[in-house]
Amino acid sequence: MQSYILTVLIGYIFGCFQASYILGKIVKKVDIRSLGNGNAGASNAVNTLGWKFGIVVALVDIGKATLSILIMKVLLQGSVRPEQLPFFLYLNGLFVILGHNYPFYMGFKGGKGTASLIGMLVAIDGRIALLCIIAILIVTIVTDYIALGTIGLLIVLVLSTLYFQYSIGCVIIALVIAAQSIYKHIPNIHNIRRGTESGLRKALKK
């Protein structure tokens, strides 16, 4: 039980470091939630504050998830069996994403967790991370929409977790991550259908 509590708490605490909100306040003197689609994440930072700022935010969000997973690898040594470790790492990654999406000090209104998901995968399995990065890049470039690229990434996440024979617990966590991310992207899908979603090419011109 102690391992579960530690895994969840460390994940959520790391996730709560909200780069777009904190850096937006310090550097840009704005609340990212008042801009664009109101989302406190890297994609909205790219669309509203420019790609350079957005990249910095994305790197911080990737890094916090990677660091959280690496810390858990050290802390869980000897506490769980080797075959159990991937589940705990997936669980930690899930709570980094939940902390990012629902930070307590921001009224639980945060981001969508895509960059943190990539950071989680980088630390857990480079093969899955590479496949997911390729998926989001290709779909985003072809469609011009980061939201659609993210959905492509989520599909690859679930399929690759299955393909590389991770436990059923890891697969369930991957499905939970995918479900909550798709739910968070529903407004973007509606905007794409209406033709009001800001595309990547437009953002890169900022």
| Domain map (residue ranges) of the chain | 2-204
Query: Residue 113: how many CA atoms within 13 Å on its side-chain side?
Result: 34
Residue 28: pLDDT over 70: yes
The predicted model scores a pTM of 0.92
* Mean pLDDT over the full length of the chain: 92
Q: What is the pLDDT of residues 29-68, one digit of tens each?
A: 888 888 877 788 887 887 788 878 889 999 999 999 999 9
Question: What was the pLDDT predicted at 73?
Answer: 96
Question: What was the pLDDT predicted at 174?
Answer: 98
Given a contact cutoff of 8 angstroms between Cβ atoms, the answer to whether 98 and 120 are in contact is: no
Residue 205: pLDDT over 70: no
